[in-house]
Amino acid sequence: MILAHLDLDAFFAAVEELERPELRRQPLVVGGDPHGRGVVATANYVARRFGIHSAMSAAEAKRRCPSAVFVRPRHSVYREYSRHVWSTVRGVVPTVEQTGIDEGYLDVGEVASDFLEARVVAEAVQTAVRAATSLTCSLGVAPCKVVAKVASDARKPGGLTVVVPGQEASFLAAFDVRRLPGVGPKAEERLRTAGVDTVGALAALSDVDLRRLLPGSVGVVLRDRARGVDPRGLDMEVERISISVENTFERDLVDRERLHDELRGMATEVAGHLRARGQTARTVTTKLRYADFSIRSRSSSLDVGIDDPGRIGELACRLLDRGLRDRPGALRLVGVGVSGLVEYRQLALEAAE
């Protein structure tokens, strides 16, 4: 396989800079109110020099850079730019698995016979996206998904990294273990406690140490990925674009009824987006951010896609209750998201079959 991972550079901030060119040389933060309890969605590269990054509280971002310009996210604008980007990408590489509004995998092997040609194709994708939208993107080209994903982040912004067969493990080895897709906070904590700080150290773990630190199949998968072994191909069943709405509260909330009301309102908004796009969703996710900024999410998948706000709200509330049973506590943010999106016409075809 020859795959590429494409990641649009600081996408939300880049779009805002295109819409308002005077922001390009200023530290720009897209996110919530810095005088309230919002969080940073993304920041441009000027702001990142001050240590500002996504998921940081907006108040902390303001403290680090008092001169930063804060703007609220405009998701409908970002979706329009995203559609233009991915339409352009498919004009160069037809087969794409879009995994987010600003990232996805490309089957470069469909149009390139080797990695030399793959580099040329990746450069053509970057040129086409820049010409069509004035946005920049970074690409990683590799024999498998996990290496391509890490490689796309290696030379941001506007970079291109090609990892040829046989160099996967050596390329990954020096990266911090947290950079390996699939290593979450709990796995990271266990690994660091054992002195496993790099991807190479994870790759070198013996079977005995691996079972001790990361029991079960997850550990085996992560060690394989650390060695550059990842058999996953592109998932073309559905485009895994998600729609989500979230709200940060002025004060932490513990009132279950109030939280349910918030979720039902968000479910109505999410359902509106689905219907506007002529889609249904097979997975509903509730996101919980606690007072200590830790995040938990709970999801429920259905056999048939839905777009009914009542049903989405019911599932979201049930998931919140489940999450709070697992970890009680006050919440500073809740959100509702849907994924596994299917267009109505696809459902009609399935029914006909």
Q: Give the pLDDT of the chain (353 residues) as one tens digit per residue.
A: 999 999 999 999 999 999 999 999 999 999 988 988 788 999 999 999 999 998 899 999 999 999 999 999 998 899 899 989 999 999 889 889 988 889 999 999 988 989 999 999 999 999 999 999 999 999 999 999 999 999 999 999 999 999 999 999 999 999 999 999 989 888 899 999 999 999 999 999 999 999 999 888 889 999 999 999 999 988 765 444 678 888 888 889 999 999 999 999 999 999 988 887 788 999 999 999 888 777 888 999 998 899 999 999 999 999 999 999 999 999 989 999 998 887 654 444 444 43
320 within domain boundaries: yes
232 within domain boundaries: no
- State how far the Cα of 85 lies from the Cα of 129, in Å rounded to an integer: 6
Burial class (CB in 10 A: 0-12, 13-18, 19+), 138: buried
If asked whether residues 24 and 81 sit together in one domain, one would say: no
Domain limit, last residue, from 168, 183, 218: 168
Residue 270 CA to chain centroid, in angstroms?
18
DSSP-derived pairing of the beta strands 160-162 and 137-142:
parallel
pLDDT of residue 173: 96
pLDDT of residue 346: 42
52 within domain boundaries: yes
Domain limit, last residue, from 74, 89, 104: 74
Residue with tokens 């590489």, as numbered in its chain: 93
231 within domain boundaries: no
If asked whether residues 261 and 327 sit together in one domain, one would say: yes
DSSP state letter for 67: T
Q: How far from 127 is each of 274, 299, 300, CA to CA, in Å?
A: 32, 38, 40
Q: Which residues neighbour 240 within 8 Å (Cβ) at sequence distance 6 or greater?
A: 97, 98, 99, 100, 339, 340, 341
If asked whether residues 154 and 114 sit together in one domain, one would say: yes
If asked whether residues 248 and 348 sit together in one domain, one would say: yes
Domain limit, last residue, from 168, 194, 218: 168
If asked whether residues 127 and 68 sit together in one domain, one would say: no
237 as an active site residue: the answer is no
235 within domain boundaries: no
CATH number of the domain at 106, please. Answer: 3.30.70.270
255 within domain boundaries: yes
Provide the residue range defining the domain that includes 254: 243-352
If asked whether residues 202 and 264 sit together in one domain, one would say: no
234 within domain boundaries: no
| Active-site pick, 103, 117, 246, 343 | 103
193 within domain boundaries: yes
pLDDT of residue 350: 40
pLDDT of residue 304: 87
φ and ψ at residue 205, rounded to 5 degrees: -60, 140
Q: Which of 324, 216, 188, 208 is nearest to 260 (CA)?
A: 324
φ and ψ at residue 157, rounded to 5 degrees: -90, 160
DSSP state letter for 54: T
If asked whether residues 250 and 210 sit together in one domain, one would say: no
If asked whether residues 348 and 248 sit together in one domain, one would say: yes
Q: Which amino acid is at 317?
A: C
If asked whether residues 268 and 251 sit together in one domain, one would say: yes
CA-angle at 314, arms to 312 and 317, nearest 5°: 105
* SS3 category, 244: strand
Residue 28 CA to chain centroid, in angstroms?
20
pLDDT of residue 331: 94
- Whether residue 157 is preceded by a cis peptide bond, meaning omega within 30 degrees of 0, is yes
Residue with tokens 């580099």, as numbered in its chain: 119
CATH number of the domain at 26, please. Answer: 3.40.1170.60
Q: How far from 63 is each of 11, 35, 47, 50, CA to CA, in Å?
A: 23, 10, 12, 10
DSSP-derived pairing of the beta strands 279-290 and 331-343:
antiparallel
How many domains in the chain?
4
Q: Which residues neighbour 249 within 8 Å (Cβ) at sequence distance 6 or greater?
A: 37, 331, 332, 333
If asked whether residues 121 and 207 sit together in one domain, one would say: no
pLDDT of residue 199: 96
If asked whether residues 121 and 50 sit together in one domain, one would say: no
If asked whether residues 27 and 44 sit together in one domain, one would say: yes
